[in-house]
């Protein structure tokens, strides 16, 4: 080689080396350096999700930038467990996940510690299957029982919902993987879910629809938040700076990333500017739009860097960044046990006339209802989980030692076997909500009443993402269900035998018109893959139910204030785009009067918020309340006064003094659940409520305010069953916030 050539090569090698040395690889402590080393194209790429195949069945990915040591990260659905494909090409290995109890059942436990235990196990599956973020919890409020995704959500009450979500987040994130609390915000219906404009006043927003997110952000510290598809007061939530930046980050201190729900909106630039860091699932057009806007200056360098910095801060926390060597072999057996225990601790006993339950266990049982076989473990849509098996009540009751009427059991098995796949409750199809209950003749029921000791009728309902439920034949019983219940009730009661209903449902159903026909009602909701075993154990008395309702069961659908503004009857063909009430827009005209906030003073209900029976009884001591400079601390002693072990939930409500804003008669402020108390055993529960938690939102002042005066502090077994009351004095205080959420169009 000529000397001059050698010198040129040496220079090139030196240049390359120094270039490589100047290309930092991402570390936790060099985020600014990496940010500075990124090209504009790389920055924009990081803000838009991309394709991937690392974990088949995962919902989305973030893009890899190998040059800078930025790995791809994986996002997959929850909330009842991880949703990935159970089978993969080229291997016999399976990738099933545990189907835990759905969120509504978890909320019925009123036990955040239990929820944290459940999600600690769930998060281990997220980690061991190579996923970085679980797209959960879903936490929109149960504004109306017909919302098709209510089973993915917790409650009509923001405090219960927020506490459950915070516990959920803590459990998952303990595993070093992330959560995405969703759908932020006011995503309370599925009809026209991509476009619907939720028109909500600021008080209802702050006190209800944002309150639960506020609690989850402050107490759970989720890595990510998912903005919703819908609009809020005229703007898409993903394009609402006031919501995503002013409220979420500046007021609540959120420091993670915001990602969109799974679709492309027209104004990607506005989404990015508003503080929506990541566009999912991510399309080239979004990259093009952001890039053009950065180049034209419409998106400033600061705005771009702010979002990219958030992304880098997220990425350094992920297992893929840590190069975690996931096993693809979580301990599904251990997690099944967690799922079963969680269902046991959460199932609600709604009725138990004459101590109809528990059964002895040696009875011969006529088990009715197609859902005794086609048991509803989880709802459909993205909230579905690919479990290896979902136990049904036939097998669970048999395992618990009951003798089933075998002819009847076989009849339902045959009906199930001849259903088409989409007819089956647990298929992920969402078009067929629930199948016809196969009719059973009066003569057959008469015979069965003579042959069996007790009738158990499983009433099932399924729903999920993409459609809301309807009133006839869904919220209400179908004609066949009603007729069967009447005939069963008549014949079994004539023979001196008991009738039990198991409500295996994904959302509230009407109960007032038929509950008198039966002796007992057990409500397991959709209890996950092991829930049927928990139901059998409760029927048998092996487990004493301790769940309580996280929402109100109204007498009639139309009693619910939001029923006047919910699209339970609608016609997509009517009206021009943007004009269709409850489809294009929904007026949250009921304001804060949602659930028990309305019913407690205004209307009779079938079962009140917070209600649930036990096989034992509890007494409440005289409570103690001690005011401090930041609110009060209350304590009360609960004693098991019955004959079997049990747990009790104590719900603390506060009634504010008159004057100031109009307020609900009482509002839930804190709650606590005892440990398993033996007969005669007591436990003192101590609960804290801060002054801020007692404030109401004054729209005029854009401030949280507590009125000065004497507050009644009520200790209830439900909102309607207050066992003892005391008082506490509070001074006036206020906390000003930003008026940035817009106003509902009148």
Active site residues: 261
Cα(418)–Cα(128) distance, integer angstroms:
37
HSE-up (13 A, CA, CB side) for residue 163: 21
Cα(212)–Cα(639) distance, integer angstroms:
31
Contact 141, 204 (CB under 8 A): no
Contact 138, 79 (CB under 8 A): yes
- Name the token pair of 131: 């996923």
- Name the token pair of 256: 């993670």
> In the bound complex, what is the minimum distance in angstroms from residue 77's beta carbon to ligand BGC?
5
Question: φ, ψ for residue 475 (rounded to 5)?
Answer: -60, -40
Residues 11, 12, 14, 18, CA torsion sign = positive
Q: Which of 329, 319, 280, 261 is nearest to 73 (CA)?
A: 319
Closer residue to ligand BGC (CB): 382 or 586 = 382
Q: What value, to the nearest 5°, has the Cα angle with vertex 219 and ends 216 and 223? A: 65
Q: Read out DSSP for 126-148?
A: HHHTT-SEEE--B----SSTT-T
- Name the token pair of 741: 């959420």
Cα(326)–Cα(333) distance, integer angstroms:
18
Closer residue to ligand BGC (CB): 182 or 199 = 182
Closer residue to ligand BGC (CB): 77 or 587 = 77
Residue pointed to by tokens 């771009």: 304
Contact 652, 159 (CB under 8 A): no
| CB-based burial label for 367 (10 Å; 0-12, 13-18, 19+) | buried
Q: How many helices and strands, by DSSP H and E, does the chain display? A: 20, 29
- Name the token pair of 745: 């169009």
Q: Which positions lie near ligand BGC, rule CB under 6 A?
A: 59, 77, 135, 182, 261-262, 382, 465
Cα(122)–Cα(106) distance, integer angstroms:
13
Cα R_g (the chain), whole angstroms:
27
| CB-based burial label for 174 (10 Å; 0-12, 13-18, 19+) | middle
> What pairing do the DSSP bridges indicate for beta strands 235-236 and 703-706?
unpaired
Cα(107)–Cα(215) distance, integer angstroms:
15
Size of the chain, expressed as the number of residues it contains: 746
Q: Which of 18, 74, 644, 46 is nearest to 357 (CA)?
A: 644
Question: φ, ψ for residue 665 (rounded to 5)?
Answer: -55, -35
> In the bound complex, what is the minimum distance in angstroms from residue 178's beta carbon to ligand BGC?
13
Q: Which residues contact residue 508 at a Cβ distance below 8 angstroms, ignoring those fewer than 6 apart? A: 142, 145, 150, 475, 551, 553, 554
Cα(301)–Cα(447) distance, integer angstroms:
79
Q: Read out DSSP for 265-301?
A: -S-HHHHHHHT--BBSS--HHHHHHHHHHHHHTSS-H
Q: Which of 168, 158, 244 is nearest to 693 (CA)?
A: 158
Measured in whole angstroms, the distance separating CA 414 from the mean position of its chain's CA atoms is 34
Cα(706)–Cα(344) distance, integer angstroms:
39
Contact 343, 531 (CB under 8 A): yes
DSSP-assigned letter for residue 47: T
HSE-up (13 A, CA, CB side) for residue 442: 5
- Name the token pair of 101: 């109890």
Bond preceding residue 443 cis, omega within 30 of 0: no
Query: Three-state DSSP class for 632?
Result: strand
Query: Three-state DSSP class for 55?
Result: coil
Closer residue to ligand BGC (CB): 135 or 315 = 135
């Amino acid at each position: 080689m000529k000397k001059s050539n050698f010198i040129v090569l040496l220079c090139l090698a030196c240049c390359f080396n120094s270039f490589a040395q100047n290309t930092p690889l991402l570390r936790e402590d060099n985020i600014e350096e990496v940010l500075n080393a990124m090209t504009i194209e790389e920055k924009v790429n990081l803000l838009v999700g991309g394709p991937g195949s690392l974990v088949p069945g995962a919902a989305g990915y973030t893009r890899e930038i190998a040059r800078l040591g930025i790995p791809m990260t994986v996002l997959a659905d929850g909330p009842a467990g991880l949703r990935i494909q159970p089978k993969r090409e080229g291997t016999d290995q399976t990738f099933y996940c545990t189907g835990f109890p759905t969120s509504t059942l978890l909320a019925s436990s009123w036990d955040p510690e239990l929820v944290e235990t459940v999600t600690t196990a769930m998060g281990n599956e997220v980690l061991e299957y190579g996923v970085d973020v679980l797209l959960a919890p879903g936490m929109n409020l149960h504004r109306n029982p017909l919302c098709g995704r209510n089973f993915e959500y917790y409650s009509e009450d923001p405090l219960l919902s927020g506490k459950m979500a915070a516990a959920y987040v803590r459990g998952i994130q303990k595993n070093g993987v992330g959560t995405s609390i969703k759908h932020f915000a006011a995503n309370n219906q599925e009809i026209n879910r991509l476009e619907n404009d939720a028109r909500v006043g600021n008080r209802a927003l702050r006190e209800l629809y944002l309150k639960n997110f506020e609690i989850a952000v402050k107490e759970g510290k989720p890595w990510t938040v998912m903005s919703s598809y819908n609009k809020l007061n005229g703007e898409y939530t993903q394009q609402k700076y006031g919501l995503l930046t002013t409220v979420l980050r500046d007021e609540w201190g959120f420091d993670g990333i915001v990602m969109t729900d799974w679709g492309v909106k027209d104004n990607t630039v506005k989404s990015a500017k508003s503080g929506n860091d990541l566009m999912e699932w991510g399309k080239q057009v979004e990259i093009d739009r952001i890039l053009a806007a950065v180049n034209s200056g419409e998106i400033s360098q600061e705005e771009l860097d702010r979002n990219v910095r958030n992304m880098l801060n997220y990425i350094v926390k992920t297992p893929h960044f840590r190069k975690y060597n996931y096993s693809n072999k979580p301990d599904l057996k251990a997690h099944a046990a967690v799922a079963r225990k969680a269902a046991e601790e959460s199932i609600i006993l709604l009725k138990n006339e004459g101590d109809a339950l528990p059964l002895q266990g040696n009875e011969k049982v006529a088990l009715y209802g197609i859902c005794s076989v086609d048991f509803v473990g989880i709802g459909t849509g993205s909230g579905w989980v690919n479990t290896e098996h979902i136990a049904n009540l036939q097998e669970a009751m048999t395992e618990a030692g009951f003798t089933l009427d075998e002819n009847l059991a076989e009849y339902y098995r045959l009906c199930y076997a001849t259903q088409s796949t989409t007819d089956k409750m647990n298929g992920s199809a969402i078009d067929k909500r629930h199948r016809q209950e196969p009719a059973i003749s009066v003569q057959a029921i008469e015979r069965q009443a003579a042959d069996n000791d007790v009738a158990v009728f499983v009433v099932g309902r399924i729903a999920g993402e993409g459609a809301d439920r309807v009133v006839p034949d869904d919220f209400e019983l179908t004609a066949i269900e009603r007729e069967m219940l009447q005939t069963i009730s008549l014949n079994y009661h004539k023979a001196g035998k008991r009738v039990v209903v198991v409500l295996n449902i994904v959302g509230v159903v009407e109960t007032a018109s038929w509950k008198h026909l039966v002796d007992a009602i057990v409500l397991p909701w959709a209890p996950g893959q092991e829930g049927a075993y928990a139901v059998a154990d409760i029927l048998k008395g092996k487990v004493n139910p301790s769940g309580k309702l996280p929402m109100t069961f109204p007498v009639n659908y139309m009693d619910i204030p939001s029923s006047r503004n919910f699209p339970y009857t609608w016609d997509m063909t009517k009206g021009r785009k943007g004009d269709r009430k409850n489809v294009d827009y929904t007026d949250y005209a009921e304001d804060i009067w949602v659930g028990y906030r309305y019913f407690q003073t205004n209307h009779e209900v079938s079962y009140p918020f917070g209600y649930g029976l036990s096989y034992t009884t509890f007494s409440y001591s005289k409570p103690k309340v001690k005011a401090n400079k930041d609110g009060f601390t209350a304590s009360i002693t609960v004693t098991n006064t019955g004959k079997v072990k049990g747990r009790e939930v104590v719900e603390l409500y506060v009634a504010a003094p008159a004057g100031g804003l109009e307020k609900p008669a009482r509002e839930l402020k804190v709650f606590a659940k005892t440990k398993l108390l033996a007969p005669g055993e007591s436990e003192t529960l101590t609960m804290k409520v801060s002054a801020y938690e007692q404030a109401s939102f004054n729209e005029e002042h854009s401030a949280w305010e507590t009125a000065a005066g004497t507050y009644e502090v009520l200790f209830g077994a439900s909102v309607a069953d207050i066992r003892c009351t005391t008082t506490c004095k509070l001074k006036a205080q206020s906390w000003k916030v930003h008026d940035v959420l817009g106003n509902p169009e009148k």
